[in-house]
Chains A and B, each alone.
Chain A
Amino acid sequence: MKGVAKAGRLLRRGPVLLTGLFVLWVGLTLTQWRLFGQMQGGRLLEALAVFGLVNLNILLLLLLLFLTLRNLAKLAFERRRGVLGAKLKTKLVLAFLAMTVIPTALLYLTSAGFLARSIDSWFSSRVEGALRQALEVARAYYGVEEERVLHYARQLAEALPREGLPGDLAGMESLLLSRAVEDQLGAVTVISASGEVLSVVANPHFPLPDLAGAESPEVRQALAGREAAGLGRFSSGDFLRGAAPIWDGAGGTVWGAVVVDGYMPGRTLDRLEEITAGFEEYRQLEVLKAPIKASYILPLLLVALLIVFAATWFGFYLARGITGPIQALAEATQRVAGGDLDFQLDVASGDEVGTLVDSFNRMTRDLRASKAQVEDAQATLHRANEELEGRRRYMETVLGRVAAGVLSADRNGVVTTLNAAAREMLGVGEEVLGRPYREALEPAVEAVVTGLLRELGSSRQDAMQRQVSAELGGQRRSLLIHLTRLRDEGGELLGTVAVFDDLTELVRAQRAQAWQEVARRIAHEIKNPLTPIQLSAQRLRRRYAELLESADGEVLDQATRTIVAQVDGLKKLVDEFSRFAKMPESRPVPADVNRLVEEVAGLYRPAHGQIQFDVRLAPQLPILEADPEQLKRALVNLLDNAVAALEGTEHGRIEVLTGFEPARQVVQVVVADNGPGLDPQARERLFEPYFSTKKGGTGLGLAIVKSIVADHRGYVRAVDNHPQGTRFVLELPLPGVNP
């Protein structure tokens, strides 16, 4: 992403940069041309092309310098910011700089010094002196030769008029020839003022020069009245030509000119010109000394700078090549550390860095594979845990639904499992989990369990059961305790499981069943003779009615009356027995418990004004499947007992409450009084037939209540009311709910 952003920036900046550089280049070229080019006198295009090329090089150099400085600045900022790899990059760049700058600088300085000294040595004063002296010699020689030809030309120009010439051409030529031979002249020419060649005399000992004419500059000068000399290179040889005007003796006008050609033997003129040219070239070189120095030193400097910049750039390149992958590796490591194992480095390098990158990519792949395996294992473990959890929940549900109480402890006796039935049975909460069973259980149960464990330990068996009776939660309960030792496959003891079966209800049911059987038999056996007894008594009264009027009959009357009354009492008793023994079958219909409670309570309020009836009904109570008549009867029995319990009590108060437990799907009906309450023995036998704490009570009311509630798959219990009294709790499950 970073690279893409950088490329984008470059693309955006590229046109601006290039345009700026182009404008700079054009401006630089045109300005230089304006300043310098016009003065060169060269052609416009040539000057522009040369300046353009020079400037292009300068700009490229400046661009390289700018890029190098920019990279150095960037490196400095990176170092300051502590960017990873900046220190290594700095070291590498500095190393490259040191390895190149020092030798290059030394080489440059040495070479530049050597060049400067060499060039200076070309222009030593001795060389210049020698050349100047040579030039002086050449000048002197030339001056002598020039003076010679001019001297002879002047002499002849003066002599010719004196000799009466040029009237006598033959005499003039003889004079000229004698002078030419005598004075070692090459040739002598006489030209008239009109430019006509009057006479030419050549020395036979010398080559013949080209004839001087009026077009010769020396002749023109001489005809203008001035002596002139000049060099002449002819096919026959080199000559020094001197011309002097021939003055008209009287008027001071030029009559003509005498031209004297002095022959210069061999390569004299060449040598003179070489000397002059040598001196001039030397002087020109001297003028060019600084540019020549610069022309040698500048490329050297450019090369040196190029080497330095190239080395710097190469240092950056190499540093980037090393630190770039390292930076990428570091970033990748951070990403991998952040959990992105799908990240793969894309650094193309064939060296050790490439190997490192490959190793890193392999490592991330391995990590990804390991992570996938771990995730699979975790998923498997999670599934196993979920399965275990499901099983545990299932076990808990099972254990929760099991009527028997289940308690397990590890080998150290610490409670590990406790189901709801066990909690309810033993009167403990979940806080016992993780505690030793000795602290968690009621002392009575703990003593029994400890005894059983001891017995189990002494025996060679792993299971044992005992039926015990213990006071639990304020009630005496009959429990069947089944102890089993848990062992693993190796036979090692894992712990112990205790299963508590509450046999209290079973015992009570058996007792009730027995009593019902007894009642049925008694009703059957007693009811049969009662009618004959009653009839016999009534017969006796009718037969001996006259006796009843007498004093003796008083006994009879009293006896028969007693017999009939007692038989009626016995009949009532037997009817009660019959009702208890043969409860009518319940006919469940949808029943509103609140309405039933209101109806029954409404019967009692007016009849017992001294007692405060507090009826609190739960709103939106679910409808039960129940036999309304039987439920009313059960409520009547409970209210009868409550009213009886409050007899002689001031501020008697009876609470009738309804409620619903959503968790258990159970409708509760509570009848509570603030009477004297029950002692534990009475409470234990409360629902047994023929057990009554009331005067004249049959002891069947609560037995009938229990029977009715049992027919409705419910449960009734009596507990202490706070602060005083007794509280009867009926729990009736909704249809389809297993209690």
Chain B
Amino acid sequence: MGLRRTLALAFALFFLLFAAPGEGRSRQASIEGVNLRRGHQSDLLVDFRVEGIRTRRVLETLDSGLPVRFTYWVRVVRPRDVLRDEVVAEVQLVRVLEKDNLKNRFRVVSEEGGEGEDVGTLDAALQTMARVEGVSVLPLEVLGSRGPLVLRIKAQLQKFRLPFHLHYLFAFVSYWDVETPWTDVPLPASPNLVP
């Protein structure tokens, strides 16, 4: 077998094994109940919730005393045919849920600041985690001035990190089974939104 053929085969194998897109993960989680509102400062507010975050892995992680960190991306993009879509605005939110095993209580903390919220039960804690309300994305006058825009939302659980940098060695061992696909919501051209 020639050298070039061997290399080509190795590349093909490599792309089959490693270059598969990250869409092959669990699709249980999803973004639901997207709601657009007008903010007090004439900005676009977004409410949504994440369904399907109650997984075995999340529960095990919480039970082991480790925090569960959710990241939410809220983007406004201008779609383009050839070029990559232009990101007009982007907001990133991080929510951390942790369990105090001694007290047997949960606490939801937003990393953007603000008081943590003690929650007595797991279900209530997960609901608090999965509900995002009043995210200010961009000023309303931008709508319509930049052409058709699309709101894209995605949520994912931060990968559970192994100690001693083992996560690098076992990068293929995934403890991260909560990830939503990007949910697209076309934005209206006129800023006639209900407050």
Which residues on A are within 8 Å of B, measured CB to CB?
13, 16-17, 20, 24, 27-28, 31-32, 35-37, 39-41, 47, 50-51, 54, 62, 66, 135, 138-139, 142, 146, 272-273, 275-277, 279-280, 283-284, 286-288, 290-291, 294-295, 298
- The answer to whether B65 has its CB under 8 Å from any CB of chain A is yes
Band of interface residues on B: 35 or more
User: In the bound complex, do residue A290 and residue B173 qualify as a contact, i.e. CB atoms below 8 Å apart?
Assistant: yes
Chain B residues in 8 Å Cβ range of A24: 7, 10-11, 14
Looking at the assembled complex, report how far the CB atom of B170 sits from the nearest CB atom of chain A, in whole angstroms.
Answer: 5
Q: A279-B101, A280-B64 are in contact. Are A288 and B162 (CB under 8 A)?
A: yes
User: In the bound complex, do residue B64 and residue A283 qualify as a contact, i.e. CB atoms below 8 Å apart?
Assistant: yes
User: In the bound complex, do residue B168 and residue A40 qualify as a contact, i.e. CB atoms below 8 Å apart?
Assistant: yes
Chain B residues in 8 Å Cβ range of A17: 3, 7
- Flag the segment in B124-132, B142-150, B153-161, B181-189 that touches A: B153-161
Q: Which of B18, B168, B175 contacts A287 (CB 8 A)?
A: B175
Q: What separation, in Å, do the CA atoms of A504 and B6 have in the docked complex? A: 102
Chain A residues in 8 Å Cβ range of B83: none
User: In the bound complex, do residue B158 and residue A35 qualify as a contact, i.e. CB atoms below 8 Å apart?
Assistant: no
User: In the bound complex, do residue B60 and residue A283 qualify as a contact, i.e. CB atoms below 8 Å apart?
Assistant: yes
Chain A residues in 8 Å Cβ range of B170: 291, 294-295
Q: Which 4 A-B pairs have the closest CB atoms?
A: A280-B65, A283-B64, A36-B171, A39-B159
User: In the bound complex, do residue B63 and residue A40 qualify as a contact, i.e. CB atoms below 8 Å apart?
Assistant: no
- Grouping DSSP codes into helix (H, G, I), strand (E, B) and loop, the A interface class, with mixed when no group exceeds half, is helix
- A12 to chain B: closest residue by CB: B3
- A32 to chain B: closest residue by CB: B171
Looking at the assembled complex, report how far the CB atom of B139 sits from the nearest CB atom of chain A, in whole angstroms.
Answer: 30
Given known contacts A142-B102, A146-B103, A277-B65, what 13 new A-B pairs fall within 8 Å (CB)?
A17-B3, A20-B3, A27-B14, A35-B18, A41-B158, A50-B165, A51-B168, A51-B171, A139-B104, A276-B102, A283-B60, A284-B66, A298-B169
Chain B residues in 8 Å Cβ range of A51: 168, 171
Chain B residues in 8 Å Cβ range of A20: 3, 7, 10
Q: What separation, in Å, do the CA atoms of A630 and B40 have in the docked complex? A: 163
Q: Which of B64, B161, B162 contacts A286 (CB 8 A)?
A: B64
Chain B residues in 8 Å Cβ range of A273: 102
Q: A16-B3, A40-B161, A142-B102 are in contact. Are A291 and B166 (CB under 8 A)?
A: yes
Chain B residues in 8 Å Cβ range of A32: 18, 171
Which residues on B are within 8 Å of A, measured CB to CB?
3-4, 6-7, 10-11, 14, 18-19, 22, 60-61, 63-66, 101-104, 156, 158-163, 165-173, 175-176
User: How many A-B residue contacts, CB cutoff 8 Å?
Assistant: 102
- B2 to chain A: closest residue by CB: A13
User: In the bound complex, do residue A35 and residue B22 qualify as a contact, i.e. CB atoms below 8 Å apart?
Assistant: yes
Chain A residues in 8 Å Cβ range of B172: 36
Chain B residues in 8 Å Cβ range of A39: 156, 158-159, 176
Looking at the assembled complex, report how far the CB atom of A103 sits from the nearest CB atom of chain B, in whole angstroms.
Answer: 27
Chain A residues in 8 Å Cβ range of B103: 139, 142, 146
Q: What separation, in Å, do the CA atoms of A296 and B61 have in the docked complex? A: 23
Q: What separation, in Å, do the CA atoms of A40 and B159 have in the docked complex? A: 6
A-B pairs with beta carbons under 8 Å apart, 20 shown? A16-B7, A20-B10, A24-B7, A28-B14, A31-B18, A40-B159, A40-B167, A62-B10, A139-B104, A142-B103, A273-B102, A280-B64, A280-B101, A284-B66, A286-B60, A286-B64, A287-B61, A287-B64, A288-B162, A288-B166
Chain A residues in 8 Å Cβ range of B165: 50
Q: Which of B64, B158, B169 contacts A54 (CB 8 A)?
A: B169
Chain A residues in 8 Å Cβ range of B167: 36, 40
- B170 to chain A: closest residue by CB: A291
- B61 to chain A: closest residue by CB: A287
Looking at the assembled complex, report how far the CB atom of B64 sits from the nearest CB atom of chain A, in whole angstroms.
Answer: 3
Looking at the assembled complex, report how far the CB atom of A491 sits from the nearest CB atom of chain B, in whole angstroms.
Answer: 85
- A41 to chain B: closest residue by CB: B158
- B66 to chain A: closest residue by CB: A284
Chain A residues in 8 Å Cβ range of B173: 290-291, 294
Looking at the assembled complex, report how far the CB atom of A381 sits from the nearest CB atom of chain B, in whole angstroms.
Answer: 58
Chain A residues in 8 Å Cβ range of B65: 276-277, 279-280, 283-284
Looking at the assembled complex, report how far the CB atom of A144 sits from the nearest CB atom of chain B, in whole angstroms.
Answer: 13
Chain B residues in 8 Å Cβ range of A291: 162, 166, 170, 173
Q: What separation, in Å, do the CA atoms of A715 and B67 have in the docked complex? A: 142
Q: What separation, in Å, do the CA atoms of A36 and B167 have in the docked complex? A: 9
Chain A residues in 8 Å Cβ range of B11: 24, 27
Chain A residues in 8 Å Cβ range of B14: 24, 27-28
Chain B residues in 8 Å Cβ range of A279: 65, 101
Q: What separation, in Å, do the CA atoms of A219 and B169 have in the docked complex? A: 46
User: In the bound complex, do residue B176 and residue A295 qualify as a contact, i.e. CB atoms below 8 Å apart?
Assistant: no
- B69 to chain A: closest residue by CB: A41
Q: What separation, in Å, do the CA atoms of A32 and B159 have in the docked complex? A: 14
Looking at the assembled complex, report how far the CB atom of A44 sits from the nearest CB atom of chain B, in whole angstroms.
Answer: 13
Most buried by B among A37, A39, A272, A283: A39
